[in-house]
Amino acid sequence: MTPTPADDALASLLAGPALEVAPRLLGSIFWSGPVGVRLTEVEAYHGQGQDPGSHAHRGRTARNGSMFEGGGTLYVYLSYGIHRCVNIVCGPDGYASGVLLRAGEVVEGVDEATVRRATSRTPSDLARGPGRLGSALGIELGDDGSRLVADTPGQGARFRLRLPSEPVGPIAAGPRVGVSGHAGGDAFPWRFALEGDPTVSPYRAAVSRRRGGA
């Protein structure tokens, strides 16, 4: 399929560094088939050797290979052996940075998302947290390495992203959830969220035995 101006705009955005891309994804709608989630919370992860919280910190492995495939690739991993978490890879091939999709509001396909997340007590809980978001979207480990395209009329790809048509905000920034950051103990303020949105997940401090997102 011939790329559209929307595809070019998305590719240009995702070619940038994760710290710039992450807040600009807020308010976007991420589609997995018929289910669309408006993104309200994300976390940025730098590339190889630059971020001790990143799965790519020590280099390429069989698990994190899709992180090295360039902007627009999806990196999906299993957290705690249960939750499928999805990240949007940013930057050039080989750089291995990305944005973890932490939370959002299900705006399309609510019935299908509710079946997948039958334990949710309220609509705002359907995708409140990266594991819940992955479940609501029907993300599987086999989706790792998939490509993301712009959501445009007639676009039949499963994974699509519709960027917001106007600025969103206010945006809050703070430490990433469950990620320690610098060796000295200072947390990286690379978590971005729509301030006051009820779907944003609660903050949880770092646990030394594991890393957080991409």
**Does 202 fall in a domain?**
no
Does 27 reside within a domain? yes
8-state DSSP, 122? S
Average pLDDT over all residues of the chain: 88
Higher local confidence (pLDDT), 136 or 182: 136
User: Does residue 181 carry a pLDDT above 60?
Assistant: no
Q: Please give the Cα distance from 129 to 8 (Å, whole number).
A: 30
Q: What is the pLDDT of residues 77-120, one digit of tens each?
A: 998 767 899 999 999 999 899 999 999 999 999 999 999 999 89
Paired sense of beta strands 159-162 and 149-150, if any? parallel
Asked if residue 104 belongs to a domain, the reply is yes
Looking at residue 209, what is its pLDDT? 41
Q: Tell me if 186 is assigned to some domain.
A: yes
In a domain, 206, yes or no: no
Interstrand relation of 74-79 and 35-45 (parallel, antiparallel or unpaired): unpaired
What does the alpha-carbon distance between residue 189 and residue 186 come to, in Å, rounded to a whole number? 9
The answer to whether residue 128 sits within a structural domain is: yes
What's the domain count of the chain? 1
pLDDT of residue 157 exceeding 80: yes
The residue among 205 and 178 whose pLDDT is bigger is: 178
The pLDDT of residue 1: 60
pLDDT digits (tens, 9 = 90+) for 162-178: 999 888 989 999 998 87
Picking from 26-30, 50-54, 93-97, 204-208, which range would have the lowest pLDDT averaged per residue? 204-208
- Name the more confident of 146 and 56: 146
pLDDT for residue 97: 93
Q: Is the pLDDT of residue 207 over 60?
A: no
Average pLDDT for 68-76: 95
d(CA 194, CA 129): 14
Task: Give me the CATH number covering residue 179.
Answer: 3.10.300.10
Instruction: Give domain status of residue 211, yes or no.
Output: no
CB of 10 closer than 8 Å to CB of 148:
yes
Closest Cα partner for 175 from 151, 154, 150, 204?
204
Q: In the prediction, which pLDDT does 204 show?
A: 72
**Counting every residue, how long is the chain?**
214
Give the structural domain span for 109.
Answer: 5-194
Could you give the maximum distance between any two Cα atoms of the chain, in Å?
Answer: 50
